Amino acid sequence: MAKRYAQGPWWRLREPGIHGRQAAAGWLFLAPVIVILGLFLVLPIAAAAWVSFSDWNGNGSPLGAHAHWVGLANYRHLLTTPGLDQNNFGEALRNNLYYVLLVVPIQTAVSLFLAVLVNRRLKFVGFFRTAFYFPSVTSSVAITVLFLFLFNPSGVINKLLSYLGATGPSWLYDPRGLFHVILDQFGVHQSSSLSNGFFLGVSYWDWLAGPSIAMCVFIVMAVFTTSGTFMLLFLAGLQNIDESLNEAAALDGATEWRKFRYITVPMIRPTLFTVVTLGLIGTWQVFDQIYVGTKGSPLNTTLTPAFLSFSASFNSNEWGVGAAIAFILFAIIVFFTVATRLLTRNPDRVPRRRRFGPTQRIGNQDASRVASAAPGSAP
Amino acid sequence: MHLHRIARWQAAFAVVAISALALTAGVALGSRGSEKATTITALIGSSGPAETYAVRNAAKAWTKRTGIQANVIVASDLGQQLAQGFASGNPPDIFYLGNDQVATYAKAGDLAPLDNLKNVKSFYPSLRAAYTYQGHLYAAPKDFSTLALVVNTASWKGAHLTSKDYPKTWKQLAAVAKKLTRNGQVGLCTNPEFHRLGVFMLQAGGWLVSKDGRTATVNSKANLTAFNFVKSMINAGSMKLTNQIGAGWGGEGFGKKECAMTIEGNWIAGAMTHDYPTVPYKAVELPAGPAGKGTLQYDGGWGLAAASKNKADAMALITYLTQTKVEMGNAKAFGVMPSVKADAKEWKKLYPQFAAFLAGADYSRSIPTVPDIATVLGDFNQQLQGLPQSSPKPILSRVNGELQSILK
């Protein structure tokens, strides 16, 4: 049992005897996937990493004679050199940060709410499930175009608002930050102390702008299109919850809200992690809506790092800078994912050791009770 | 036994699949430039079916004469498709090239010089200058456009204005714009862009760079005068930027009768015919500012790829496509102004109502050929979107710094 595999390098792991050739066959079967992943995933990522450290200008192969190693120059250009590229990058980060901070919580809450709604025995539940999921299967380009019409200054939304006696903003043309607008209502205007300090070429006052009115349209759109998908994930999680738990809680006199808070939410914690993580990745990479809708306008307030990476590369011919933006974005996403993992980890889970084995910390009586209940310790 | 046979079957299948994959990969990687040599590929960014058809026909006629195949491809995103071509080492032989991109590509070594083009002398000198980078011509001008003042003649009459009232000065422009602002229509609307508002810079005697092209002059007094004038018209309510009225561009605002005047190029003719056929309009020359007349010029040209495998034939095709007859054919088909000086008279006869656009050629300026200038102007445009709320000075000094950093 202990010496299951013959000694040798990792690629020659094999069992002695009649199964001797199985490892080779295994590698053979893996080969197509390795080739495909290598060709379409590992190689391009490695090439992009190289480009981000090079002065390649788009002429000829980036691995050829035209590209030279420039070290961290592209990263320094973005992060520490004042100028247009740094301004754009700072603005893109700010815009996307507000986008993420608003979209992820809202879409998670909305999709969980929808999932709880359609997880009952209702009439027409199939219809509602389909209807809620529908925006997710529609192409994002089509929905963007639809939203462009809806949120036109003389479009449907503003017509509706005018019936209610309100004057809508010019939406996708309105660069004012949401927080600035709110602060303005309270008489707080641009303060000079915040306007003179800069981070990544953007003044502190502008960092606090919040999402622009134009970006808010994209935020609403993201919630509208993604909630359906995440509702489906939550629905699967909800249907895994044993109904007897809810019944037991009901017998104990728990209200609907308490059942939701103390049974449903803890039981779907893994799904919650999945949804938040997928949401974070998707929102930090927002590109197609921007490309189709505004291309960063108005006043750069819908510019995002993903779109900036594209335009720096393809329009400005600054391929190294474009690739560097992509890798910084990658680092940001990894950071947020790890942070989510730490936050959604079950805080009051009993460590394995304590559940299944008697330890010194637990009193003798308890220990024996636990030990006899645990199947693993049966003789 | 049975199991073994299945395993062997699967192994054999896998071997076949892998070799097929390897073969495809090999073909994909090794297919560079074998059969290409006899076909010239032309990548165009077409304004519509009329243009596509005209260019295809011209290429076909050339094939008939020379026996060399010419393949015209319409790009959906010209910049992106060109970039892909340059990176793969297998770009289209010839392609449309705007003069704001020419320096960027020339600097990267993507373009072959066209100094030896047969008909190089036939173009307007200003057009050749717009495509010259570090002493070499990098595109053959094919057509150009200038900006003029486009006027809704019905609104004009409605405001009791006559043909004598077409504005000759800024003062008159402000006055007619005020008179035309009535019945829910604003006098003048235009894109919040350097590419439109830049005309006022020229009229005030300002420009983006100094005469020697080494110093950024965006924050000059003349430019400040220009944008203060624009701002005063916005403040007076007689001018609006298209983002204030929710239009995509001046032509849309003008066509939808949101405004009575706009500053646009001759491409507006197509939109008026197709989308707003009931709006009567006329193009007149832009008014003169404190420093005289001025307008912006947009140039279209044919570029030749440095990596083209058949430069001689490609150059012959460019020469054919930029000769008098073909350019007049294009002018008839989709209204562009020919880059060949000799065509001017015939064009004026063809489009008398657009004489103002051609008249602009005498005093128009193209965007300076500086690598990366498109990026800086892109930011200029972004900043100008906020002009109604902010003031011109910080915008001009910001863009000045950005432009100076790429001039070095």
Assign A375 a pLDDT band (cuts: 50, 70, 90). very low
Using an 8 Å CB-CB cutoff, list chain B residues near A59. Answer: 86-87, 108-110, 306
pLDDT tens string B76-110: 989 889 999 998 889 999 999 998 889 999 999 99
pLDDT tens string B122-156: 998 889 999 999 999 999 999 999 999 999 999 99
Chain B residues contacting A, CB < 8 Å?
A: 7, 10-11, 14-15, 17-18, 21-22, 25, 79-80, 83, 86-89, 104-105, 107-110, 243-246, 306-307, 371-372, 374-376, 378-379, 382-383, 385-386, 389, 401-402, 405
Do the Cβ atoms of A60 and B405 come within 8 Å? no
Do the Cβ atoms of B385 and A298 come within 8 Å? yes
Assign A364 a pLDDT band (cuts: 50, 70, 90). very low
CATH number of the domain enclosing A258: 1.10.3720.10
- Asked if B353 and B282 count as a contact pair (C-beta separation under 8 A), the reply is yes
Residue A352 falls within a domain, yes or no? no
Query: B101 to chain A, minimum CA–CA distance in Å?
Result: 9
Pick the closest to residue B201 from B263, B291, B284, B265 (CA basis): B291
- Distance from C-alpha of B188 to C-alpha of B260, rounded to nearest angstrom: 6
Residue A48 falls within a domain, yes or no? no
Distances (CA, A) of B20 to A27, A262, B25: 17, 55, 9
Residue A166 falls within a domain, yes or no? yes
Q: Which residues contact A227 (CB under 8 A, 6 or more apart)?
A: A107, A110, A111, A114, A132, A135, A136
Q: Which pLDDT score is estimated for B322?
A: 94
- Distance from C-alpha of B387 to C-alpha of B198, rounded to nearest angstrom: 14
pTM: predicted TM-score of the whole model, two decimal places: 0.82
pLDDT tens string B195-228: 999 999 999 999 999 998 889 999 999 999 999 9
- Which SS3 state, helix, strand or coil, does residue A240 take? coil
The mean of the pLDDT values for chain A is: 84
Bigger pLDDT: A170 or B97?
B97
Q: Give the E-state strand segments of A182-275 in sequence order.
A: 198-199, 202-203
Q: Which pLDDT score is estimated for B205?
A: 95
Q: How many domains is chain A partitioned into structurally?
A: 1
Q: Which pLDDT score is estimated for A198?
A: 87
Do the Cβ atoms of A317 and B22 come within 8 Å? no
Burial of A318 (C-beta count, 10 Å sphere; 0-12/13-18/19+): buried
- Asked whether the predicted pLDDT for residue B368 surpasses 50, the reply is yes
Pick the closest to residue B108 from B274, B296, B320, B307 (CA basis): B307
Residue A39 falls within a domain, yes or no? no
Residue A69 falls within a domain, yes or no? no
Across residues B382-396, what is the average pLDDT? 91
pLDDT tens string A124-151: 888 888 888 888 888 888 999 999 999 9
- Domain residues for the domain of A296 are 77-344
The domains of chain B, with CATH numbers, are 35-144+298-353 (3.40.190.10), 146-297+368-407 (3.40.190.10)
Q: Which of A316, A318, A325 to mutate against chain B (most B CBs within 10 Å)?
A: A316
Using an 8 Å CB-CB cutoff, list chain B residues near A87. Answer: 379
Bigger pLDDT: A12 or A172?
A172
Highest mean pLDDT among A185-189, A252-256, B6-10: A252-256
- Asked whether the predicted pLDDT for residue B24 surpasses 70, the reply is no
Write the DSSP symbol of residue A39: I
Structure token pair of residue B223: 């430019």
Q: Which pLDDT score is estimated for B34?
A: 42
Q: Which residues contact A28 (CB under 8 A, 6 or more apart)?
A: B11, B14, B15, B18
Q: Which pLDDT score is estimated for B321?
A: 95
The β-bridge partners of B151 are B261, B282
